[in-house]
């Protein structure tokens, strides 16, 4: 907990030698100087106390641009203005993300971005395939489909700032992020509006 101006003034007075040269009466030259110095110490103490919040990318505000610089943000897939909480989440995602190429990884990534998706992968049709399965060529083993709502709406949250939009919508960011992170050998397909899942 940060000390206030009076706390520091009392400490400075306690450190000063006694005597008439440094009077303790309110309004004296010495006390005005002590109050001025105490104010500076109090401000520095307050800033130091807030440093632990700035050191955490989940709660930072003043150092957010520096966190973004370190993590190569903003994401090139971001179109338009991002909320502070979205920017914080993006930094945390870069710092804590381990990457992956699995279905659960991409479903979790979409959830972090505010999208509810289903991932469908395919297999090539072989002699041992069931007769009811579609006949697909060998290249289909590299294809996968991301199914999402026609238009995804992301609502304002409790952590959002007062100057942030109440809602944002669209699927462009989902496509951009997935196309950037999809395995290079895969064929990514997006399907919207199919709510069979």
DSSP 21-56: TS--STTSHHHHHHHHHHHHHHHHHHHHHHHHHHTS
pLDDT tens for each residue of the chain, 197 residues long: 678 999 999 999 999 998 888 888 888 999 999 999 999 999 998 888 888 889 999 999 899 999 999 999 888 887 777 888 888 988 998 899 888 889 999 999 999 888 899 999 888 878 888 888 888 888 888 999 999 988 777 676 777 667 777 777 678 888 999 999 999 999 999 998 855 54
* Tokens encoding 159: 């952590």
Domain positions in the chain: 5-54, 98-192
Whole-angstrom Cα distance, residue 117 to residue 152? 10
Nearest Cα neighbor of 2 from 59, 47, 61 is: 47
DSSP-derived 3-state class of residue 168: strand
Q: Which residues pair with 118 in a beta bridge?
A: 147
Q: Which residues pair with 189 in a beta bridge?
A: 145
Q: What are phi and psi of 188, to 5 degrees?
A: -95, 130
What pLDDT is recorded for position 40? 93
What pLDDT is recorded for position 106? 95
With beta carbons less than 8 A apart as the criterion, state whether 112 and 92 touch: no
What pLDDT is recorded for position 194? 57
What pLDDT is recorded for position 195? 54
What pLDDT is recorded for position 49? 83
Largest CA distance in the chain: 104
């Amino acid at each position: 907990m940060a000390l206030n101006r009076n706390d520091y003034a009392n400490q400075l007075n306690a450190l000063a030698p006694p005597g008439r040269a440094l009077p303790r009466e309110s309004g004296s030259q010495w006390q005005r100087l002590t109050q001025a110095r105490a104010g500076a110490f109090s401000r520095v103490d307050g800033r130091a106390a807030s440093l632990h919040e700035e050191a955490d990318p989940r709660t930072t505000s003043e150092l957010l641009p520096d966190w973004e610089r370190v993590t190569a943000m903003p994401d090139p897939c971001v179109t338009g203005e991002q909320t502070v909480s979205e920017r914080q989440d993006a930094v945390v995602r870069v710092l804590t993300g381990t990457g992956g190429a699995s279905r659960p990884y991409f479903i979790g990534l979409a959830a972090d971005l505010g999208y509810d998706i289903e991932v469908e992968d395919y297999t090539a049709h072989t002699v041992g395939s069931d007769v009811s399965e579609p006949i697909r060529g060998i290249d289909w083993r590299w294809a996968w489909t991301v199914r999402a709502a026609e238009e995804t709406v992301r609502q304002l949250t409790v952590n959002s700032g007062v100057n942030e939009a109440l809602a944002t919508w669209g699927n462009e960011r989902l496509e951009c992020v997935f196309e950037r992170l999809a395995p290079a050998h895969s064929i990514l397909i997006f399907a919207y509006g199919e709510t069979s899942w």
